[in-house]
Amino acid sequence: MMSPQRNGSPPPRTPGGPQSKPPAPSRMTLDALVRGKRAAPLRVVLYGVEGIGKSTFGANAPDPIFLGAEDGTDHLDVTRFPSPESWQEVLDAVRVLTAEQHDYRTLVVDTLDWAEPLLWAHICKRDQQDNIESYGYGKGYSAALDEWRVFLAALDKLRRQKGMHIILLAHCWIKPFKNPEGDDFDRYELKLNAKASGLVKEWAEHVLFANHETYASKDARTKRVRGVSTGARLIYTTRTAAYDAKNRGDLPESMPLSWADFTAALEAHQPADPQALEAAIREKAEQLSEAHKRSALAAIERAGGDAVKLAKLNDWTNARLGEVT
């Protein structure tokens, strides 16, 4: 026999009763799987030496709108926001582009190192600190990372909802690098606090370094070496000891500093369909030596359907075929 309910106590919950709600169905099902490449707006960080043409690179992107210091684009016929006077105004500009209707297809932030002091001032005012160093050793820069994450998340939302390319421009500076494997050396780095720089580079799909093309010339009489510029302005896409760079398109290591050349290189280096690549590699592998055949087939498995890896394996297979013939 059930004991009587105490006055004022709620009735016991029973499974399936009106107070229970069925769990929401999960989106993570095998029926929801999709495969293949997806075209998406680009996330680009371009940094380089003063006056190299970073703003011009952004101005030649599709239907750009600039966010940054007003005098940074005086020489360009572009659309620009008023120069923000606070970090909140930087975020407001991104929010407006996300929420309102417009025809812009690219947001160009010119430059990150111009925006960073606004971010520092924002968190110092919020946290009642005199300056970014007042937090204590390194703590201010760690606090700033949270605001950088808010900013980058807002840019990603803009990309998703409006399909806009994001180009973040920055200057560079030369910093000493402590080499754990040998002598220390100097290298070009993004002109941001190191923690913020690492976060921004991780966020970007393409980190491009812009510089004048130079080569070393040694005087036969004095033996002195001097740098000589060819006059060419280049972007570099792959990391070296001298600078950071990366790309997601298997791009050439360098190319002219222009949006047209950059996007043409992306299109030219788009890998073929991974299934077609795998079939071609397997067919060619049958013509190779037994050892090379085993290597090719094992590499197919390691590639796991990655089109870029399969494209490189296809090049390797073609080279081995050339040796056979």
Where along the chain do its domains lie?
43-208+236-252, 274-324
pLDDT in tens, 165-223: 999 999 999 998 888 888 888 999 999 999 999 999 999 999 999 999 876 666 667 66
Amino acid at 128: Q
Nearest to 196 by CA among 118, 310, 282, 286: 118
Q: What is the pLDDT of residue 229?
A: 64
Q: How far is residue 88's CA from residue 113's CA, in Å, rounded to a whole number?
A: 16
Residue 182 is predicted with a pLDDT of: 81
**Most distant CA pair in the chain: distance in Å?**
111
- Band (pLDDT 50/70/90 cuts) for residue 319 is confident
For residue 257, pLDDT beyond 70? yes
Q: What pLDDT, in 10s, does the model give residues 95-152? A: 999 999 999 999 999 999 999 999 999 999 999 999 999 999 889 999 999 999 999 9
Q: Residue 234: which residues within 8 A CB-CB, separation 6 or more?
A: 210, 211, 212, 213, 254, 255, 256, 257
Give the tens place of pLDDT for each residue, 273-306. 788 888 889 998 998 899 999 999 999 999 888 8
Q: What per-residue confidence (pLDDT) applies to 1?
A: 47
Place of tokens 């047209």: 260
Whether 11 shows a pLDDT value over 90: the answer reads no
Type of residue at 71: D
Question: Do 218 and 225 contact (CB within 8 A), yes or no?
Answer: yes
| The predicted structure's pLDDT at residue 324 | 57
Buried b (16+ CB within 10 A) or exposed e, 177-199: eeeeeeeeeebbbbbbbeebbeb
What is the token pair recorded at 96? 């407006």
Q: Are 144 and 120 in contact (CB under 8 A)?
A: yes
Instruction: Give the Cβ contact number of residue 64 at 10 Å.
Output: 24
pLDDT in tens, 22-49: 788 888 888 777 765 556 899 999 999 9
| Torsion angle defined by CA atoms of residues 66, 67, 69 and 71, in that order, rounded to the nearest 10 degrees | 20
Cβ atoms of 123 and 140 closer than 8 Å = yes
pLDDT digits (tens, 9 = 90+) for 70-101: 677 888 999 999 999 999 999 999 999 999 99
Residue of 234, 225, 227 lying closest to 254 (CA atoms): 234
The answer to whether residues 315 and 303 touch, using CB atoms and an 8 Å cutoff, is no
- Count how many residues are written for the chain: 325
Q: What is the fold of 43-208+236-252?
A: Rossmann fold (3.40.50)
The pLDDT value given to residue 19: 64
Q: Measure the CA–CA gap between 157 and 154, rounded to whole angstroms.
A: 5
- The per-residue pLDDT for 38 is 59
The predicted pLDDT at position 26 comes to: 86
What pLDDT is stored for residue 173 in this prediction?
Answer: 95
